[in-house]
Amino acid sequence: MLEKLTRSFGDVVRTISGKATISEKNIEEAVDSIKMALLEADVNLRVVRRFVNATIEEAKGEKVLRSVDPGQQFIKIVHDRMVALLGDSRQDLVLKGPDVVSVVLLLGLQGSGKTTSAAKLAAYLKGKGRRVLLAACDLVRPAAAEQLQALGAQIGVEVFRGEGTDPLAVARAAMARAKKEQYDTLIVDTTGRMQVDEAMMDELVRMRDLVRPDEALLVADAMTGQSAVDIAKAFDERVGISGVILSKFDSDARGGAALSLKSITGKPIKFVGVSERPDGLEPFYPDRVAGRILGMGDVVSLVEKAQATIEQAEAEELEHKLATESFSLQDYLDQIRRVRKMGSLQSIVDMMPGLAGQVSEDQIDEADMKREEAILLSMTRKERLNHLIIGPTRRSRIARGSGTSVAEVARLLKKFEKSRLMMKKVVKNKKMAGKMMGSMR
């Protein structure tokens, strides 16, 4: 993903962060390299110009040149500008509650990854606890409906196919079915064509008026660079879109579409496709992608955040414990308390590339954490130091003492085992981040 862009930006970052003092000339040189990198990445020319001018202006201000660490200050400016380019903050889907059917209309050219994305989105929303029905309304591309049905079977989501060759009739029937069978989300895969043409747009406008979508998402192929941006513009002008799913982001070494889309169309990228598989869809986080491009992963901010709370020595001790598996329930209790000090566990998990999505929300419910704390406090210190001695009798005593149930105590013990694994991963990530930061210096 964005390998090329990341490489060129990495060079700029390394050059400038190595300097003790920075002159206007250094800044101009760095901005020049950035400009080249963006142009090579196939970013829209207008966007590049705006980016460059704004960066120069801000960077040449007194604040940077006189700051303690001008290199870092400069990189921060570039980072913030990049986040703005990518769309500022994460834009989630806006869907209605479970009592009504929310409709997501998927638009896009043939081959953009529309059908695959329909299934991915269905799997994603199903994972969020929604009841999803897929409607196969791409009746133009041969086998699109069969493909969707096969994907639906794979992810356990019902696919509505309907009769005849009129996509509007199929959509109408799908809506009736969704309502009758109490689905809360209907994802409509629509007709794609090889290129933007009037007949397709007309049909999509009629489809839009029929289903009145909560979200109309364009699926655009990241690998087509600026064409993806032009296509998005065309669809938005004719049909109106609420956001973009940028497919094949995993194969996009350049990044032109990702960096230009928001500024040119005003529409946010809501998801990116990162593999051909039904689970290959990720929410799009501008700040994470900017961090990745500049070679400073989210892991860095995680480590910073964690380090502010956990003293170095403590951290080392913890690492040692995790590595040697002597991490006990007592440490687990300490961790719960620390995590609360750091902010929500969700925000921490969200920063870890490998873990986002792997840890489900119910695993990190904050109320859960309080209950866990109660259970842990009902244990004796001896029990906390060696969880293996907690048999059935102890379990029921602990349950009674904490006002919970034996099942909940058992669940915590199981989760504790899982957490040991997860935290081992954190340690690994952290080591990686340390290396990354080291090489940046």
Examine residue 297 and tell whether it contacts ligand GDP (CB under 6 A).
no
Residue 108 or 152: which CB sits closer to ligand GDP? 108
Measured distance CA(199)–CA(117) in Å, rounded: 23
Does position 254 interact with ligand GDP (CB under 6 A)? The reply is: no
Which residue type does 336 have? I
Q: Tell me the residue type at 137.
A: C
In angstroms, give the least distance from the CB of 38 to ligand GDP.
Answer: 23
Using DSSP's 3-state secondary structure scheme, residue 272 falls into strand
CB atoms within 10 A of CB 387: 17
Of 206-214, 267-275, 335-343, 428-436: span binding ligand GDP (CB under 6 A): 267-275
192 binds ligand GDP (CB under 6 A): yes
Alpha carbons within 13 A on the beta-carbon side of 158: 15
Q: Which is nearer to ligand GDP, 70 or 273 (CB)?
A: 273
Query: What is the total count of residues that contact ligand GDP (CB under 6 A)?
Result: 20
Task: From 340, 341, 335, select the one nearest 422 (Cα to Cα).
Answer: 335
Decide whether 203 or 408 has the Cβ nearer to ligand GDP: 203
Nearest residue by C-beta to ligand GDP? 273
Distance CA 207, CA 271 (A): 23
Dihedral angle, C-alpha 96, 97, 98, 104, nearest 10 °:
20
Q: 415 burial class (0-12, 13-18, 19+ CB within 10 angstroms)? A: middle
CB of 250 to ligand GDP, least distance (A): 5
CA atoms within 13 A on the CB side of 57: 7
Contact between 268 and ligand GDP by CB under 6 A: the answer reads no
SS (H, E, C) 86-146: HCCCCCCCCCCCCCCCEEEEEECCCCCCHHHHHHHHHHHHHHCCCCEEEEECCCCCCCHHH
Smallest gap from Cβ 117 to ligand GDP, in A, equals 6
Residue 403 binds ligand GDP (CB under 6 A): no
For the CB of residue 146, give the shortest distance to ligand GDP in the complex, in Å.
11
- Is 141 a binding residue for ligand GDP by CB under 6 A? The answer is yes
Give 148 or 423: the residue with its C-beta nearer to ligand GDP.
148
Q: Which residue, 107 or 329, has its beta carbon nearer to ligand GDP? A: 107
- Is 270 a binding residue for ligand GDP by CB under 6 A? The answer is no
Strand intervals (E) in 205-313: 215-221, 243-247, 269-273, 281-283
Tokens of 221: 């192929």
224 binds ligand GDP (CB under 6 A): no
Q: Does 190 bind ligand GDP (CB under 6 A)?
A: no
- Give dist(CA 312, CA 309) in Å, integer: 9
Segment contacting ligand GDP by CB under 6 A, of 58-66, 80-88, 121-129, 269-277? 269-277
The answer to whether 256 contacts ligand GDP (rule: CB under 6 A) is no
Nearer to ligand GDP by Cβ, of 221 and 287: the residue is: 221
Site string for ligand GDP, 99-138 (x = CB under 6 A): ---------x-xxxxxxx----------------------
Task: Determine contact, residues 310/423, Cβ cutoff 8 Å.
Answer: no
Note whether 281 and 106 are within 8 A (CB).
no
The only residue of 243, 273, 278, 291 in contact with ligand GDP, by rule CB under 6 A: 273
Nearer to ligand GDP, 118 or 322 (CB): 118
Binding site for ligand GDP (CB under 6 A): 108, 110-116, 141, 144, 192, 247-248, 250-251, 273-276, 280
